[in-house]
């Protein structure tokens, strides 16, 4: 069920936004994902960076 939902969300986003990704070069001062709207007059752009949290042992 989650796979179908994930696919549907991706399909809807692809209709509105173009995706640019630097996932392979992440960590070098570049964003991870940028969503640029196809209609720039109507929608906003989004820049997404993924972070990893490694908790220390106490």
Mean pLDDT of 51-55: 82
> Model confidence over 18-52: pLDDT tens digits?
988 776 665 667 778 889 999 999 999 998 887 77
Is 54 a member of any domain? no
Token pair belonging to 58 = 């106490």
Mean pLDDT of 11-18: 88
Q: How many domains does the chain have?
A: 1
Is 53 a member of any domain? no
The tally of CA atoms less than 13 A away on the side-chain side of residue 48 is: 11
Residue whose pair of structure tokens reads 């630097």 in the numeric block: 22
Q: Is the pLDDT of residue 2 over 70?
A: no
Q: Would you list the DSSP string of 6-56? A: HHHHHHHHHHHEEEEE-GGGTTSS--SEEEEESSTTTS--EEE------PP
Is 56 a member of any domain? no
Residue 9: the pLDDT is: 78
Is 57 a member of any domain? no
Is 44 a member of any domain? yes
Could you tell me the strand order of the sheet in which 33-37 lies? 17-21, 33-37, 46-48
Structural domain range at position 13? 2-48
Is 10 a member of any domain? yes
């Amino acid at each position: 069920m989650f796979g179908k939902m994930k696919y549907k969300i991706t399909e809807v986003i692809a209709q509105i936004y173009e995706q640019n990704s630097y996932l392979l070069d992440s960590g070098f001062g570049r964003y991870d994902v940028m969503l640029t709207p196809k209609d720039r007059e109507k929608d906003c752009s989004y820049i997404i960076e993924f972070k990893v949290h490694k908790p220390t042992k106490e």
